[in-house]
Chain A
Amino acid sequence: NAGVTQTPKFQVLKTGQSMTLQCAQDMNHNSMYWYRQDPGMGLRLIYYSASEGTTDKGEVPNGYNVSRLNKREFSLRLESAAPSQTSVYFCASTTDYYGYTFGSGTRLTVV
């Protein structure tokens, strides 16, 4: 099925470790986004890429970096994981006409 694919689905990290969350979409969307979802805080935008070759900070970018590898792929990197980054991470892509499509999420625990 067409859509947004995220890997991995689950991950446990130790404080200070690094990792990259992968996201790919096959809908030919220009814009891609990374959100985090926390209890009581809702969904918050971390970074987004309006088009291939561009990236911009969202509401909560500290501690993260992103790479828009090509039109299909948008990765999120945690350079030195902290317990405050324990969250569920969602990747999304969008077109103006069809709205947002979200991936199934990555559940990250930092111990």
Chain B
Amino acid sequence: KQEVTQIPAALSVPEGENLVLNCSFTDSAIYNLQWFRQDPGKGLTSLLLIQSSQREQTSGRLNASLDKSSGRSTLYIAASQPGDSATYLCAKSGSARQLTFGSGTQLTVLP
């Protein structure tokens, strides 16, 4: 069974810090790796999509990398802000395009 693990489960940082969220997965047969943000009681907002042929994607203060050989992806958030507080989910899709989700990292950025 495909598994996706996210470490840490929770993270609290002061405003302005740079931080890294980690995602690891079994089964190197990956099609896409996608990072989402979820605010309490809300839906999932797509942050970054990395296709299997790519190694990283950037959007504003966010950078996501993908290393298929080691089964890892990282989400780097630069100069964190209180508005970044949310749960961050990574998910991988295989050949059938179904997403398998990690359990998420709950991020709190303190003002």
Contact = CB atoms under 8 A, between A and B. Distances in A.
Interface stretch (A16-24, A78-86, A91-99): A91-99
Chain A interface SS verdict (over half): strand
A45 B46 contact: no
Contacts of A105: 42-43
B: interface residue count bin: 20 to 34
Interface stretch (B10-18, B22-30, B70-78, B98-106): B98-106
Chain B interface SS verdict (over half): strand
B104 A42 contact: yes
A94 B97 contact: yes
A50 B104 contact: no
A96 B101 contact: no
A96 B104 contact: no
B97 A101 contact: no
B40 to A, nearest CB: 11
Contacts of A96: 31-32, 51, 97
B34 interface: yes
B97 A43 contact: no
Contacts of B46: 99-102
B49 A90 contact: no
A48 B98 CA distance: 8
Contacts of A98: 49
Interface of B: 31-32, 34, 36, 42-46, 49, 51, 89, 91, 93, 96-99, 101-104
Given A31-B97, A90-B43, A96-B97, 7 more contacts: A42-B102, A42-B104, A43-B101, A92-B99, A96-B31, A102-B36, A102-B45
